[in-house]
Amino acid sequence: MTNPNKAKGSKWELDVARYFNERGFPEVERRYGAGATLDKGDINGVKDTVVEAKNWKKIELSTIMDEALVEQNNAKKRFGISVIKRRNRNVKDAYVVMTLEQWIDLYSFFVNN
């Protein structure tokens, strides 16, 4: 892979998938075929959720979330989240971003069950 930014992004996707695995989600894996016509996220295997992994020098939150929501729609999943790398931090310290509407749906599910 000759593009350093693509290599950095691919490594981050693998790091995020491995962290899910380490935390008890063995079915989670990096989705291959990024950039497909109907992209369905970077990480596969999180129940009813599209996971978009971003390792950008400058965090453009609206762009990142717009992409996650398009991919959520493509995959016909309930949730679309972005896992965003924090500079000079481990994967466990990443930001997880979702819309307020989806967060309330998620929170309500746990409160009511």
Which CATH number describes the domain made up of 4-111? 3.40.1350
pLDDT in tens, the chain (113 residues): 578 888 899 999 999 999 999 999 999 999 876 556 688 999 999 999 999 999 999 999 999 999 999 999 999 999 999 999 999 999 999 999 999 999 999 999 889 98
Q: What is the pTM of this model?
A: 0.90
pLDDT of amino acid 1: 53
pLDDT of amino acid 24: 97
Q: For the chain, which residues make up each domain, given as ranges?
A: 4-111
| CA gap 80, 53 in Å, rounded | 11
pLDDT of amino acid 62: 95
